[in-house]
Amino acid sequence: MNETIPNDTSRSAPHVAVFSFPSSSHPMSLLMLVRRLTAAAPEVMFSFFDTAKSNGQTFKNIDKDLENLKVYDVDDGLPENYVLTGKWGEEIELFMAATPFNFKKSLEVAEVERGRKITCVLSDAFLWFSGEMAVEIGVPWLAVYFSGAFALTTHIYTDLIRSTIGVDPNAIAGREDETLEFIQGMSSVRIRDLQDGIIVGNLESAFNRMLHRMGQMLPRATAVVINTFEESNPTIIEDLNSKFQKCLSIAPFTSLTYPPPSDSDTTGCLSWLDKQKPSSVVYISFGTVGALPAHELEALAEGLEGSGTPFLWSLNDKLREQLPVSFLNRTREWGLIVPWAPQFPILQHRAVGVFMTHCGWNSILECILAGVPVIGRPIFAEQHLNGRFISDVWGTGIRIDGGVFTKGGVIKGLELILFNEEGKKMMEKVQAFKELAEKAIETDGSSTRNFKTLLQIVSTT
């Protein structure tokens, strides 16, 4: 595969292959990590591999060919003239069917084109086959997991969970509140909190088989990089350290390392917040992938109006059209709805007192960094796990009553966090977490030390 590489000193320089998973926030999160590595190791060459569609979105406002970073497209697995049906997971299934051959083909192109052998594979942990490819070419495999340590734990222990609890829906029925006492650090987690694909759902879908295989493969990685900081879950991190060759928790880094440009507030959110009282506003966002059902959108709107709480709501135009016109008219004096919002600067603003969220991991990290308590309404994936840790382990927020929005539940939640003594305690706890996160990225902090270890591995030829 490397016969045509020029015979010069560049052959011995580090060349890292970066494999991205083309879904949700994964590519951008991986790019943020790679940009930090490129800045710290300008002598290392990075080649970034993803589908053309995903690369187009990820690098929309970023130069694809930085000095030591070049972008390559891999086959997305869609047959020529194929028309997508809109079925959930369809593109992922086609993409996974094309792996690993699509990556191998593009890897050959990059190695020849750039004149350097691959010396390390840095991949999204979802792409478990990257480990086998790394073994084939005799280089380290670094797997990056972008959610929390407790979500990763469920994948590492999937086989144990299945053998202990079972996968028969009839056998599980009525046991949803049983806890995972048999896994270190997971005694507060209940069966109902587990992601689809662990013991319920279509265990044989391409996506769920991928995650199952990931959990089996990660102990073989040279290092597993986790988007968390050690102090957030020391018991779980201790257990993962016993499972992996190296367990490197390196968060928080994305929001602090690459803050949005000063002109990113195109919808006027920050200037609107400037006019509000300290800790009075609820910021609302449920991410870009999942969506609330119409009846919950209506209940949330009714609760916001009934509470009289100033609100800033990031909601796309299609969903905004589902809100009653009367609600929009009656709340325009103390509420602002925008199609997009610069989330981290908003959470950092003194006017924001609580974040109403789907409990996506990036959002949870930003809450911690900003020191803002949470009202959680998980929608899918590991969000239920995240919500459980927020409410029952960390005490930095609550989950909405019954798991769905009602007018009364919204009013009750806002009252509790913004005005009650219990809410003050949650604020104190999240502020304490913020201090731990800030210490983790200090010069001698745990995340800084772990990043240096990661940097050393990618810089070694």
State how far the Cα of 132 lies from the Cα of 87, in Å rounded to an integer: 30
With tokens 């803050």, the residue in question is: 259
Long-range contacts of 354-357 (CB under 8 A, 24+ apart): 354/282, 354/283, 354/397, 354/414, 354/417, 354/418, 354/423, 355/282, 355/283, 355/284, 355/285, 356/282, 356/283, 356/284, 356/285, 356/413, 357/284, 357/285, 357/286, 357/287
Residue 103: name the closest of 45, 167, 49 by CA.
49
Please say whether the beta carbons of 405 and 286 come within 8 A: no
On whether the CB atoms of residues 44 and 455 are closer than 8 A, the answer is no
For residue 206 the two structure tokens come to: 């391409």
d(CA 188, CA 150): 11
* Selection from 389, 355, 233, 338 nearest residue 284 by Cα: 355
The yes-or-no answer on residue 124 being catalytic is: yes
Say whether 239 is catalytic: no
Of 15, 50, 124, 384, catalytic: 124
Residue (of 69, 75, 52, 224) closest to 153 by Cα position: 224
Alpha helices (H) in 308-442, listed in sequence order? 317-320, 325-331, 343-348, 361-370, 383-388, 407-419, 421-440
Active-site residue (options: 15, 26, 155, 358): 26
Helix 294-307 with 407-419: angle, nearest 10 deg: 50
* CA distance linking residue 281 with residue 276, whole number of Å: 7
Catalytic residues: 26, 124
